Chain A
């Protein structure tokens, strides 16, 4: 079965039961945005305000600066919730999808045992991926804009190209670790073995997965682009609160894209002969 077919199958096979593991992550992200929209209340200031001040400094709790930097602070929240929540949610999602595929059934006890390895393996893989992505973005922010400015000139074009390169590389790094939770469910293995197998699968299936991963994420990426590069425009031309509403929509679309991406990856691995107990 070709990767494209796997993606279409994934899109056709949405079930709430398999989506539920990702729901707490989405709820946490949306909750942060609700709190960030309520910095005028003590409870909002004590929570989202505290996060903003820790992440960015005192300017994070002034109006309208708090909404201008909301894309940045919410990206920190997104990273941490995905790292912690995803460590549990992604293996559970992969297991739920695998159970619907021929030959993918597992006994409950076997499933629990493999999940117990999958959680820490996924956490470490995601953590490593985020660390590499942050390191890469640090390099990008320092050197790329200056280099591009000499070719492109216009500041918006420089920002757009920088953002695009940053996203493409970031997604490539995540694609490399997508298969870690999936590999953990193939057979019982130790933490090291699971990580190694997962990374090997990620590299093997990279060009089958990466383009489709980007395709599934396009709607979310479009909103991320608006929030990150158009923040000042939203502030000046519309209401500052619109930045939060864009991020609301982004969080939902991103969660849905994550669901379909891991669903698709599980099917790609199954089509290549994996997912058999």
Chain B
């Protein structure tokens, strides 16, 4: 062997060992490291952007999205974990790192009002997920968020039902919730926001069946307790006291056997007190039990709700001064509770009206949208004033109040033109403009609805209404145009046949 060859033997051997060792899982580990690094850097960039005084604008959000998309570009598929459910933990971690990045990118796209990008990413991730159920679950939740961002609410509900049928809920973490268990309530809430109360009630029954079906399989005590708590809540809302009592007793037994579930006792106490107050002729004892929840479980989310429900029970039994006192107590003790305080303020106004204190009631109703602009009930407040004048047969006073009510709704929309209840605010404006026979205002509002809530069921209903109004105002071309727009935007609607007939009758 030559001297050169002898000298090179050592380094060559070392290089060969290095190459061999590199192939032994090093590549996949290195890929995971790259993914983690890019994910960390993207997360840090987003955290820094959100620390600035002004919220990030669309351009910034899209730039941040690009940071998260770098992860997939750095470690493109296919992924071993997708093909083989028995793949190594390393392979699974790699796929899930990519999934986390894609989910963050989708979230930013939705925030930037580009939900179609999020939908595309969700479909791509679902395809990549393959056999990995955790990633598959993440992908379908991304799709759900995208549909909600695109205001394709029926598709969102369909997706939620798909999740419920495909995936089982997991034991929630301490003081946490499982997102799958929360879906039935999300569906109910969405139906209500779409103005479909009958649909919401239907979904409550479906939710009841779903929770009952979960109890047929073996569950961990914590998961069982969460399921029973939701079952109890749904039974109460459906006014099924027998079922509610049975669930309350079972839940109480579970809590007794598992000390870690003690915080859930507030929910049981609330349910039992509410049923007692509802069933007794004199709600005082039940109301006292409800009010005790604030003392016994001060940090519980049920504390505010219990006080409010005490007021509701007094109101149902026409004990108006006691009801007023409870509603006022809610506003004093829990002014920042966004779930209950706006409702308490609204009911306070109605109670004041019943107690012939119209000045007080009007002031409360006018204050409500300013104090709780993001609440659903804020949309009802201006209309409630008009309805009071209408009930009192004071048509002039009602008409004179129209501009003030419209200004209130405009104020709410200027805060967030595409917020959760923006369609509802526009619907109320529509009703006022229709009552005022303001054709120009109605046409402008319709354009606004088509721009901001194009596929909303409220917009569908408004198109049909405005078509009738346009025809009544003598503008047949507009009437036809609105019907055609309905057929274009809502091709799956059960009203399509009727709309086609009407269109034909108008000569369109």
Q: Using a CB–CB distance below 8 Å, which chain A residues touch chain B? A: 39-47, 49-50, 61-64, 66, 240
Contact = CB atoms under 8 A, between A and B. Distances in A.
B22 A46 contact: yes
A63 B18 contact: no
Contact of B21 (A41, A50, A240): A50
Nearest to A240: B40
Nearest to B17: A46
A129 B40 CA distance: 40
Judged by DSSP, the binding face of B is helix
Contacts of A43: 18, 22, 26
Given A42-B22, A43-B18, A43-B22, A49 B36 contact: no
A46 B40 contact: no
Contacts of A44: 30
A58 to B, nearest CB: 10
A66 B40 CA distance: 13
A39 B29 CA distance: 8
A147 to B, nearest CB: 34
A201 B21 CA distance: 46
Given A40-B33, A50-B21, A62-B36, 9 more contacts: A39-B30, A40-B30, A42-B23, A45-B29, A45-B30, A46-B22, A49-B33, A62-B32, A63-B33
7 contacts: A39-B33, A40-B33, A42-B22, A45-B27, A45-B29, A46-B22, A63-B36
A40 B33 CA distance: 5
Given A47-B18, A64-B40, A42 B26 contact: yes
A64 B34 CA distance: 11
A41 B22 CA distance: 9
B36 A46 contact: no
Given A63-B40, A64-B40, A46 B26 contact: yes
A45 B40 contact: no
Contacts of B23: 42
B33 A61 contact: yes
B59 interface: no
Contact of A62 (B26, B30, B33): B33
B24 interface: yes
A221 to B, nearest CB: 30
A45 B18 contact: no
A48 to B, nearest CB: 11
B95 to A, nearest CB: 16
Contacts of B205: none
A174 B204 CA distance: 76
Interface in B436-486: none
Given A47-B18, A50-B21, A63-B40, A42 B30 contact: yes
A43 B24 CA distance: 11
Contacts of B30: 39-42, 44-45, 49
A46 B33 contact: no
Contacts of B202: none
Given A63-B40, A64-B40, A45 B33 contact: yes
Interface centre among B23, B34, B36 (most CB of A within 10 A): B36
Interface in B38-62: 40
Nearest to B15: A43
B395 interface: no
B37 interface: yes
B33 A42 contact: no
Contacts of B33: 39-40, 45, 49, 61-63, 66
A46 B34 contact: no
B37 A63 contact: yes
Q: Which of B18, B29, B34, B37 has the most CB of A within 10 A?
A: B29
Contacts of A63: 33, 36-37, 40
A42 B27 contact: yes
